[in-house]
Amino acid sequence: MVFSLISGTAAISGPKHQGFFLSHNYIRLIPGEALDPGWLVYLLNENGGIKKQFAIGLQGSRVIKYTVRQLKRLNLPPLPPRTRQQAIGAVSLKQLRLEALKVRAARRQTPMRLHQLKEIMQ
C-alpha cells in the first residue's frame, strides 16, 4: 500500500510496481495480519472520523501536506472481523475500479463525438 502525503489518499500498489522508487511525497504502508489492505484503503479514504483527524492536524497550515506523525497518531475505529474487512475492502476497490473505467470510457468517447460533430458541420 502507498499513502500520498499530498492528497491524503491511500491505494494498493500492484506487483507491476514492485521495486519502484517512492518520492518523498509518498509513504509505504504495510498492514499487519489484523488489517485487510483493501479495508484499510477504504478506511483511510472514506471514513469521516479519519478525515476529521487529518483536518485537525492540518489546521493553521498553509501548505497542505500530511505527515508520517499524523498517520502514526490516527485513532482507528474498532476493527471488524477479518472476513468483514475483506468484504468491505473488495466492494470498495471494485467500486473505485468501476468508476475509473467509466471515466476512462467517457474520455475516450469525447474525441470521437467531437470528430463526428466536425464531420456533420462540414
What pLDDT shows up at residue 97? 93
How large is the average pLDDT for residues 57-75?
80
CA 97-7-98 angle, 5° bins: 10
- pLDDT digit string, tens, across residues 76-88: 999 999 999 999 9
Question: With 80 as the cut, is the pLDDT of residue 59 above it?
Answer: no
**What kind and span of H or E run contains 93?**
helix 82-121
- pLDDT digit string, tens, across residues 94-114: 999 999 999 999 999 999 999
